Amino acid sequence: MRYCNIGEAADSLVKGNVVAFPTETVYGLGADADNDQAISKVYSIKNRPLNHPVIVHLLDGDDLLYWAENVPREAYLLIENFWPGPLTILLKKSKNVISLVSGGQDTIGLRCPSHIIAQNLLKEFVRLKPAQRGGLIAPSANKFGKVSPTSSKHVFDEFSNEISSNLMIVDGGKSMIGIESTIVDLSNVVKGSHPTLLRPGFIKASQIEEALGRKVFSPTEYSPVVSGSLRAHYSTNTPLEIIKEDIDFDDLFYSNKKIALLSCDPSPIALPSCFIWYEMSHDNDLYASKLYSTLREIDLSNFDKIFVYDLPNGSAWNAIRDRIYRAAAAFI
């Protein structure tokens, strides 16, 4: 793996290679969404199940109808309000979409990232494509089910075994949002179904409802499979547990274990050196921006256990709560 500039990255992508690049949410593993061999490389590198769909990232102003059909009015309302930005819209896929992109489903997730490097990369990629049209799949640049990367160093750490391969990375600094995009399903709205929030993110359900002028519903067992929808996901290497009340530090001290504690608040007492207290934030967006980098730092520091104090009440915390509870589920 090596660093490259946007021109090198776009050229490599057009040739069917995989390139990691930054978005405002997390770093993604990019590949040509019209190239099934390139897409297969991403699935292989991530150890991603073939029935787990990926999101296609588009250049601002791209032709939506190349990728989707029966696009409802609601989709254009959300695009007007939130694109470019951290919102993925699920629609009925067109005949142009490769089955591997959609995980065998009849839907496709589309997103227009706001990160300037992602947009410039897409622009150069499209310019080099023979048809002057295209998109990039870009699932998070990590092994499937693990913590997403928010810096180029995280990507290097994640894929150290692929150092000698053709993987390239465009460095864009730290991803500012730090958690994956919101996903809203509009695939059956034209048939009378409700808009459905399939994955919470930086853009809140209330914002989507305000833009649409109608209620957004929760997913059901019949909702499409999307990234991050498994019960256990975003998992750390270090066992993680959510605690809803104060713990007995004395018991933990005598266990001779190295413990990390994440909380919105500062430490209430002076702790021995085997405890490291991570004060996150009472601001949900700031907490989210620090979450994955903090978990990755802990994983590299030989801790025995991570305790995460339960989050404040309120819908503003739903996206972080979703990530932490799925991370903890891997150890239940």
CB atoms within 10 A of CB 180: 27
**Residue 25 annotated in ligand binding:** yes
Enumerate domains of the chain plus CATH numbers: 2-212 (3.90.870.10), 240-329 (3.40.50)
| Residue pair 243/265 in contact by the 8 Å Cβ criterion | no
Separation CA 40–CA 45 (nearest Å): 9
Pairing assessment for the beta strands 19-21 and 28-32 based on DSSP bridges:
antiparallel
Task: Provide the β-strand partners of residue 196.
Answer: 185, 217
pTM for this predicted structure: 0.96
Q: What token pair was written down for 208?
A: 């989507």
Q: Binding site annotation covers 148?
A: yes
Q: Annotated binding residue at 229?
A: no
270 backbone dihedrals φ, ψ, rounded to 5°: -70, 130
Q: What is the DSSP letter of 183?
A: E
What order of strands is seen across the sheet that includes strand 305-309?
Answer: 240-243, 305-309, 259-263, 275-279
Q: What is the pLDDT of residue 252?
A: 67
DSSP secondary structure letters along 19-67: EEE--SSS-EEEEETT-HHHHHHHHHHHT--TTS--EEE--TT--HHHH
211 in a labelled binding site: no
19 pLDDT above the threshold of 60: yes
Q: CA-CA distance, 213 to 23, in Å (whole number)?
A: 29
66 is in an annotated binding site: no
The two tokens of residue 223 are 């909702």
Q: Which residue's entry shows tokens 């209430």?
A: 268
Residues in the chain: 332
Contact present, 304 and 221 (Cβ < 8 Å):
no
User: pLDDT (tens digit, 9 = 90+) per residue, 166-183?
Assistant: 789 999 999 999 999 999
The token pair at 266 is: 């500062």
Of the candidates 294, 175, 302, which has an alpha carbon nearest to the alpha carbon of residue 237?
Answer: 302
107 labelled binding-site residue: yes
Q: What are the tokens at 203?
A: 């853009």
Q: What is the pLDDT of residues 216-249, one digit of tens each?
A: 999 999 999 999 999 999 999 999 999 987 766 6
Query: Is 287 within any annotated ligand binding site?
Result: no
The dihedral over CA atoms of 23, 46, 105, 229, expressed in degrees to the nearest 10, equals -70
The answer to whether 131 is a known ligand-binding residue is: no
Q: Three-state SS for 276? A: strand
pLDDT tens string 100-131: 999 999 999 999 999 999 999 999 999 999 99
138 assigned ligand-binding residue: yes
State percent of the chain over pLDDT 90. Answer: 88
pLDDT by residue (tens digit) across 29-64? 999 999 999 999 999 999 999 999 999 999 999 999
